[in-house]
Structure 1
């Protein structure tokens, strides 16, 4: 088919092609998920995939993925172009990096960028990233005190030169991980999904007779920007402040502050007043701060407008250099998600003052990873210990018009991992995994429930547990007279409790007990629909005591077994 200038395309043509781009990147993401070695990617979808134009502007992102990966990846291709100008790129080139300040915020996420050529001309880029289970560094994830202790640091490098893989670079990666097969396998998985995305993109261009993406890209970006600005201009003007106190570190709690300004040109969130960087590894690079701030604004305001460079542009952030939300290299950042994932609640606390009718109560936010190493049966096997991780979740805060979701990864988008996979890769058994009654904050609309999880070892040997949690000392707060969600907890069946961010050894025969927190409730509990209270009681979401004492349900109205 003869190439047709994209300037001649009708509006309908461009909309059809836009939808095809969304299909291209969704297939790209699904290929990554299906071929990944990392269980967090394969089972929980901790990844991102997108297509970019020749200028490095994101045109489409996959639905499969997480905001922290996706919204920080939006800037990654620009960094690659800065390091390797477009005119130096050849067909078959592939670039790799895991720079926390140019990628997704920590070393465990590897980013791959692939220039895409059509009829010999560079027309765009396919980019992706995913979580790598082990990238070297200290075993105790709470012990790192700078980024260099956290694993292999890859600047932006050419991994494949005109189709020829740099085996020396692959050897460096293989030599710096405790899981060389899995880590190198994930690198190839990422390269493969980009290759599939590029193939589908060029097929689409051939089908529609496109010689370049320029006019289509301008249409996508301009249309999306205009649509977001239209929504923003319907909002009340002003600056709205909020703050959030986190459990923090062994040094004490951390306070985050934000001032959110709505203007005709967009929404800006300034984090001046937030806590300074900590010596522990919960610092957040600004790219990750932007990612979850932008996501929160998208959820509350942008709605179903697709995510791309245009729709992201009106959402901006600032934070003083050296604060915990704008950590500077070489700050330790491996656990940046424990703080970064809390930002949507902070943004919502600002927005609730402007838009109380659409903002949820506070949620669990930070994920409750089950992260385990060991055991070892002899000193000779110290480096052959298994390392497994699965995602568990707490409850979402209630909205002003419905209950919060239970056991959900909101706002991360990461799915809870199947315990059967976790067990199959270790000697551990998950003896219990169930919803926690009464963990959702009471209200006219109830907060989502957390979970109760019990884990033990089938061997009479100790194993190492790495805790990195929030909402233990400061549970999710309710809104508009709604009750707070239940606090989380981590400890042993024997009764010992641990700090929210601490590594500990589980003795032989002991079991870890993990209480995932619940989301805050919304509205006066006395106004909750009686049928909803009865249903909660019948399903075991609330206890008989809560039904009577909080919701004032008479015993004679309680459902009978």
Structure 2
């Protein structure tokens, strides 16, 4: 670091510039949200945006975005620079990649990297990622046995050359996806997003008289590293273990295993002992494993330290090569989020041993996105029936409940750890010929506890054009529920079915006949603490709001509530005394 940055006034200036840099990448992200074509970005916020120095180190990320994108995109810029050194880039260039092992873990996530120039010299790079609705192939949860079957695979390629779009590449992408308008529109949005970031960076450098970002980068990275290590070293050093069972595939459950070691120079997480790869797209490339593992650690240990190359470097993640958490090419990986988003809960179980009263209960964790489709080739039905059916592909982002926290209830119908928003049903109904008859909290799905787990939700969906449609499911927590903590009860498992009673697979492509209605019941989060310690008035409020039934209030909380929502004090006292004795 230069001597200038050690001057007190310079430290203040650098902090102002650091904050300004964060606002720059947030504007970059908001540009992406406001111009995107796909609902994943526009409505759910499934994206990332960040700025990098000339060495490819991430200096700042936007608050808007998901850990799986940001933390893995942090490495994408390095891969681009390895292939095309900054000295060979030109002003107006942009590069595209969706390699799962160099990007964000599966083909649907497209990364754009753009160099920024000031007065003819490169001063940094911007990168962004978003999830496109379709990338061809068999879909998120198809029967693909290799990544080649999962869609269009784009290696690092120049998509903009000195301001001119590579129309040949655009044509190839259009020809290989089912929703070319949405996909190409999203790619143009990414290019625009990086351009906005670059313009704002140059304006900032002009304002502060910066010829380069080198000193500012060192200030950001040094302080982030120091702050991260300071937070880590407040924890008791040692090694902690945890395991978690997940549903797996075809009735074969899986046990994820983690060893977390806290030491003076950071935290190491080792997933040795976790299962091997499978022939279905729930395998996880290491970049995605690193992304969600490090996010889970940061949430508990150093939540206020900004995310950048230095703060991430204090958390080191390993998994055996060829395991489900370090899948090797060409394994199918389209649904890598099913397993990958469970990893914060896995490391929470380790950290709970170091911080006994500082870690939430387990939540749904994996997303319960409703991927609907229709038309020829997308539905298992008579071609004659489908010949005039609307062809569509739409994804609604939806979530179960989160785990209860040490001093607060869990959040209902809220995505954690991904942080994406639920997509309004009106948007889905506008984009596809379906009717969503209901979308409501799932009573009794949150695990009982002094602090109640967040509720899942229930959705019922039917065709709007008298044609069969299909759902591609990629769900977990159907066999194993989110576990409670410190005496809290487990949350409720999820379920996919027809209203008529037929159960559907949580990881498959299923068709919904005309006249049938699809019901998706999402899991609830685990509870925290002894349910008998939950204040009676809070139990009454839960029952009044329909979050907890009277039966559960009596059986799990020992509170007897009358038809007019009054507490039967005598019966409650007797019941709680009996439960305590048991």
Same fold (TM over 0.5): yes
- Aligned partners of 1:474 and 1:487 also within 8 Å: yes
What TM-score do the two structures reach when normalised by structure 2?
Answer: 0.93
- Aligned partners of 1:178 and 1:383 also within 8 Å: no
Aligned to 1:446: 452
- Aligned partners of 1:440 and 1:486 also within 8 Å: yes
Deviations 1:149-208 (A, max 9, x none): 011101111111222222111111111111111111111110000000000000000011
Aligned to 1:49: 49
Aligned to 1:307: 307
Instruction: Give 5+ residue unaligned stretches, structure 1.
Output: none
- Aligned partners of 1:439 and 1:518 also within 8 Å: yes
Structure 2 distance, partners of 1:38, 1:205, is 33
- Aligned partners of 2:123 and 2:213 also within 8 Å: yes
Deviations 1:232-279 (A, max 9, x none): 011011110001111111151111100000000000100000000001
Structure 2 distance, partners of 1:359, 1:505, is 40
From 485, 492, 495, the equivalent of 1:486 is 492
Structure 1 distance, partners of 2:98, 2:79, is 12
Q: Secondary structure at the match of 1:321?
A: coil
From 429, 444, 450, the equivalent of 2:435 is 429
What TM-score do the two structures reach when normalised by structure 1?
Answer: 0.97
Give matches, 1:15-164, under 5 Å.
15-139=15-139, 141-164=141-164
Deviation at 1:556, TM superposition (A): 5.4
| Runs ≥4 residues deviating over 3 A | 5-9, 375-384, 555-558
- Aligned partners of 1:6 and 1:211 also within 8 Å: no
Q: Secondary structure at the match of 1:399?
A: coil
- Aligned partners of 1:375 and 1:464 also within 8 Å: no
From 525, 544, 547, the equivalent of 1:541 is 547
- Aligned partners of 1:437 and 1:540 also within 8 Å: yes
Structure 1 distance, partners of 2:247, 2:146, is 21
- Aligned partners of 2:385 and 2:467 also within 8 Å: no
Q: Secondary structure at the match of 1:550?
A: helix
Structure 1 distance, partners of 2:277, 2:564, is 51
Deviation at 1:381, TM superposition (A): 4.8
Aligned to 2:518: 512
Aligned to 1:203: 203
- Aligned partners of 1:247 and 1:500 also within 8 Å: no
Structure 2 distance, partners of 1:49, 1:269, is 26
Q: Secondary structure at the match of 2:244?
A: strand
* Match status 1:327 vs 2:333: no
Comparing 528-537 with 95-104, greater Cα deviation is found at: 528-537
Comparing 230-239 with 164-173, greater Cα deviation is found at: 164-173
Deviation at 1:466, TM superposition (A): 0.8
Structure 2 distance, partners of 1:383, 1:162, is 43
> What is the alpha-carbon root mean square deviation over aligned residues?
1.7
Deviations 1:305-347 (A, max 9, x none): 1111111110110000000000000000000000101101101
Deviation at 1:34, TM superposition (A): 0.8
Deviation at 1:499, TM superposition (A): 2.3
Structure 2 distance, partners of 1:383, 1:105, is 33
* Match status 1:224 vs 2:224: yes
- Aligned partners of 2:266 and 2:315 also within 8 Å: yes
Give matches, 1:168-317, under 5 Å.
168-250=168-250, 252-317=252-317
- Aligned partners of 2:129 and 2:190 also within 8 Å: yes
Comparing 458-467 with 537-546, greater Cα deviation is found at: 458-467
- Aligned partners of 1:372 and 1:389 also within 8 Å: yes
- Aligned partners of 2:348 and 2:359 also within 8 Å: yes
Q: Secondary structure at the match of 1:509?
A: coil
